[in-house]
Structure 1
C-alpha cells in the first residue's frame, strides 16, 4: 500500500490546473450536502453528480500523469492561474445550470466567473429566482477565489514581481528577483504548498469566526455564512438577505474584518512590502485608514452644512447614524466588497443631498492592499506616486537635496513610482478600451463607465450603486457579457500579468 507522504508527493506533481480542478469539483459536495439536508433533492443531485463526475475525471487524468515530472517554466504557474479564472467557471457552471434549467449555460458561466474573480456582479436581479443552494454555491466559489488569490500572491505573483510587488522589487516585472530576498531556490509547487498550509487554516478560521459573530448578531445562518465568505473574499455576494440585517453590531464586525483587505500585514508577513516596521508603519494600512477617516468626514461636513441650511431638525442620533453609514460604506467599497450600510440612506436623506455614486467608484478604483483579495489599483501604488510627488516638490525647493528615505525608500520614490505610473496608464487604457467596447454593443455610455469600473476593480455591487439606478445585467447582449467577462479576468490578474504571459522572451527563459 502506498504511504500517505508518497501519495502526497504524487499529488503535488500533477499539473497545477488539474489540482485546482480536482479541489473545485470536490467542493461541490458541500452544496450537495446542504441541499440534501434542506430536502432540496433536485439541486442536491445536480451538485452531487457533477462533483462525482469531476472527481472521477480528476482521478483518471491524475493516473495518466502518474510518475511524470512536471515541466513548467517560470511563467507556468501564472498560466495555470490564468487558466483557472477562464476555464474553471465552465466546470462550476455545470451544476448551476442543472439546478436552474431556466437559464442559459452562458449566463451560468458569467455568474461563476464573476464569483471566482470575487467581482460578485449578478445577472439575477430577483434573488428569489435562485435557490438557497445556488446562493451558497455562488458565495463558496467567491470564497475559493479569494483563497486562491491569497495563495497565488505569495507563491506565484511575488516571485515574478507582479500584482503590486513590482513597486518595491529590484527586478523588472515578470522576472525573478536575484537579490537577498529572492525566492528562486524554492520550486513553485513548494511555495504554493507552504502558502496553502499556512494561509488555508487562517483564512478558514477567520471565516468561521466571522460567521459565528454574525449569527450572534442576529443574522440567519445561511445569510451569515454567505456574508462571512463574501467579506473575507471581498466578493460582495449575498444569499438574498440584507448584509445589515444584524444591525449596527453586524456592520461593525464586518467592517473590522474588511480591514484585512487593506494590507497583507494584517494577516501575514510572508511577503516583502515597502516597510519592515510592522502594521503600525505599513504605508498601505495607514493610507487606507486615512481614506476611511477623510472621506466620511468630508461627506459628514457636506451633509452637516446642508442640514443646517435645510433646518430639518434632525437630532445628534441622526447625525451619528449618517456618519456611521458613510464609514461602513467607504470601508466596504475601498476593500471592493461593495456592501452598503443600513444607514447609507440616512447619510443621503439626513441633509437632503444625494451622494453621487462617483465617490464609490473612486474608492473601488483605489482598492485595497497588495496581495489581498481586494481589487483596484492598490494602495501601495498610490503610496509610491505620493512619495514621488513629495520628493519632486522637495527638489523644486532644494534642487541639490538628497533623499533620506534609505535604499528601499529611494527605490519606491523613483523606480517604484515609475512602474506604478505605468500600471496607472495601462489601467486607464484598459478602462477606456472596455468602456468603448461596451458602447459599440449598444450599452449607454454612462452605464458602460460604471460597468467598466465594476469589472476592472472587481466590485460587482457598483452595478447597483454606481449609477443613477441599478443596471440590469441580464438585459445586456451576449457580446456585452463577454466583454465584461474578459474585463473581470483582466481586473483580477491585472494588466502587467497579462502582458507577462504574452512576452516571448519570458516563455523562452
Structure 2
C-alpha cells in the first residue's frame, strides 16, 4: 500500500481505471455479451500492464533528503496541480477505449466526449436513445461518473484546500493559490502522495457506504438492481447519468424520488458527510452557511412558483385537485434541489409544476440554480454556495451601514472576514465565471450555434449539469446535434467547470514556475 501511494498520481489513476474496467466486464460475462466482455477485459489488461511498467520504471527508494528538499516539494506541488488538469483531459482517452470498442456505432472522439462528461460528473450524453448503448456500457459510464465524484471529493480536500482554491479561499485568511507556508512553496502539503492516500482511505468508505445504502433502498422501492445501482452512483456523483432516460423510467416512483431527494443533500455542504474539526459542541448542520443558503432557496423558490398560480396565472385552467397541486409543489421542490446540486434529475411532477405556475420554459430559473451550485468539496459544480453566502452577508452589511453609518458589524472575526475579504474574492470569481460564460458563448457562436442554445449549452457544461439542456429551453436540445469543433469547446468547458478557473489562474502565477 505504501508503494502504491508513492507511485506517480497519474499512474495510480491508470491502475484504478484498469481495475474498474473489470466490473462491467464481469457484468457482461454474466449477461453473456461476449463482445462487450472482451472489450473491457482487453482494455483492463492493457492499461493495467502499462501502468505497472511505468511504475516500475519510475520507482526509486525514498530518501530523507528527497523528502525534505524544498525544490522537490515545489516541483511535486506543481505536478500535482498539473495532474488534475491532465486527469480530466488525458485520462478520458484511456476510459474511452472500452466504450468505443463495445459500442461500435460511434466514433472514438464521441466516446472521448462521453468519458469527459462522465469523469467531470456533467452527465452530458450524445446518445439520446438509451437503447443504443448496451447495459455494460451504461454501467461503465455510470461507474466513471461515480469515480469522478470520488476524485472530486478527495482532490478538493487534499489538493485544492491547501492551495486555498475551490471555494476555500472565501473562509481562509490566505490569498488564493497560497499554501499554508509561503507563496513560493505552493502545494507543499497538497503535493504529498501520502496526503492523497490518507484522504482517500478516509472518504472512500463513506462514499461507498452511502452508495450501497441508496442502491439497496432504490431496489427495495421498485427499481431493478441494475437501474438502482446506476442511479445510486449518479446521485452520489451528481452526474445525472441514467441508463433508462431518467428517474421517471426507473420504476421506483415517488418513493424513489424521495430517496434521491434525501441523498442529494450531500452535495449542499461537505459538513453533511465529514467535519473539519469534530467536537461535542459543534453547531448543528442547519447553521452551516452553505446549508442556510440552500434551505432558503429551497423554501422561497417553490413557494414563489406555487403562489404564482393565483397571483398572475389566472388564465390557467383545468381539473386541478388537491393532489395535483401537491404534486406540482413537490416537483418544484425536487427540481430546485436537483439543479442546485447540479445533478439535473427531473421530477415526474415537474410538468404539473410548470402548468400550475404558468411558466412554460423556466430555463432562466433552472440555469440560475445550476450557476449557484452546491457546497465546497462536494461533487456539485457551479459557483458554490459559500461564495453566494459571502456576497449575501456583504450586501446585508452594506444595507446596515446605509441605515446606520456608524454601526459596528458583529458576529466575530470569521464573519467579518467573510463579509470583507471573502466577499471580495467571491465577487472576483463571479466575474471570472461570467466572463468565461461570455467567452464560451462567443466561441460557440463563431461555429454557428444560436444565442439561446449557446447560453444553455455553455451553462450546462460550465456548471457540470448536462441534463440542463433538456429542460432549460422551450424545446429539448441535444448534444448529438453539435459538430465536432463545438463538442471540443464544450468538453474543454466541462473541464474548466470541474477544475475551476482559479486553479487555472494559479498555474499562470510566475512564482509557481520559479526554481
TM-score, length of structure 1 as denominator length: 0.94
**What aligned pairs does 1:302-451 form with structure 2 within 5 A after superposition?**
302-305=308-311, 309-350=315-356, 353-451=359-457
CA contact (8 A) 1:223 1:241 kept: no
CA contact (8 A) 1:207 1:229 kept: yes
**What aligned pairs does 1:173-192 form with structure 2 within 5 A after superposition?**
173-178=176-181, 188-192=192-196
**Secondary structure, in 3 states, of the residue corresponding to 1:293?**
helix
Superposed displacement of residue 352, structure 1: 5.2
**Secondary structure, in 3 states, of the residue corresponding to 1:103?**
coil
- 5+ residue gaps, structure 1, are 1-7
Counterpart among 215, 219, 236 of residue 223 in structure 2: 219
Task: Find out whether 1:202 has 2:195 as its counterpart.
Answer: no
CA contact (8 A) 2:361 2:472 kept: no
Superposed displacement of residue 187, structure 1: 5.9
Q: Which residue of 1 aligns with 2:307?
A: 301
- The one-character-per-residue Cα deviations of 1:454-493 (angstroms, maximum 9, x if unpaired) are 0100000011111122222122111100000110000001
Superposed displacement of residue 271, structure 1: 7.5
Q: Which residue of 2 aligns with 1:491?
A: 497
- The one-character-per-residue Cα deviations of 1:271-291 (angstroms, maximum 9, x if unpaired) are 79xx96341310101111111
**Secondary structure, in 3 states, of the residue corresponding to 2:162?**
helix
CA contact (8 A) 1:170 1:177 kept: no
Superposed displacement of residue 444, structure 1: 1.1
Superposed displacement of residue 14, structure 1: 1.2
Count residues in correspondence. Answer: 498
Q: 1:480 to 1:400 in 2, by over 3 A?
A: same
Q: Which residue of 1 aligns with 2:100?
A: 97
- The one-character-per-residue Cα deviations of 1:194-215 (angstroms, maximum 9, x if unpaired) are 1111100100000000011001
Counterpart among 167, 173, 193 of residue 170 in structure 2: 167
Superposed displacement of residue 218, structure 1: 0.4
Task: Find out whether 1:232 has 2:236 as its counterpart.
Answer: yes
Q: Give distance in 2, aligned partners of 1:227 and 1:74.
A: 36
Q: Which residue of 1 aligns with 2:55?
A: 62
Q: Give distance in 2, aligned partners of 1:185 and 1:485.
A: 30
Superposed displacement of residue 452, structure 1: 0.4
Counterpart among 92, 114, 119 of residue 116 in structure 1: 119
Superposed displacement of residue 58, structure 1: 1.0
Q: Which residue of 1 aligns with 2:154?
A: 151
- 5+ residue gaps, structure 2, are 67-71
Q: Give distance in 2, aligned partners of 1:226 and 1:496.
A: 32
- The one-character-per-residue Cα deviations of 1:238-269 (angstroms, maximum 9, x if unpaired) are 01243133111100100000000000000011
Counterpart among 18, 23, 28 of residue 25 in structure 1: 18
**Secondary structure, in 3 states, of the residue corresponding to 1:373?**
coil
Q: Which residue of 1 aligns with 2:466?
A: 460
Q: Which residue of 1 aligns with 2:42?
A: 49
Q: Give distance in 2, aligned partners of 1:401 and 1:261.
A: 36
Superposed displacement of residue 11, structure 1: 1.7
Superposed displacement of residue 190, structure 1: 2.2
Compute the RMSD of aligned alpha carbons.
Answer: 2.0
Range with greater deviation from structure 2 (10-19 or 113-122):
10-19
**Secondary structure, in 3 states, of the residue corresponding to 2:127?**
coil
**Secondary structure, in 3 states, of the residue corresponding to 1:159?**
coil
Q: 1:105 to 1:151 in 2, by over 3 A?
A: same
Superposed displacement of residue 378, structure 1: 0.5
Q: Which residue of 1 aligns with 2:69?
A: none
Q: 1:484 to 1:22 in 2, by over 3 A?
A: same
Range with greater deviation from structure 2 (418-427 or 475-484):
475-484
- The one-character-per-residue Cα deviations of 1:51-104 (angstroms, maximum 9, x if unpaired) are 011111111111111215584433322211111111110000000110112211
- The one-character-per-residue Cα deviations of 1:120-158 (angstroms, maximum 9, x if unpaired) are 000111111111111111100000000000001110000
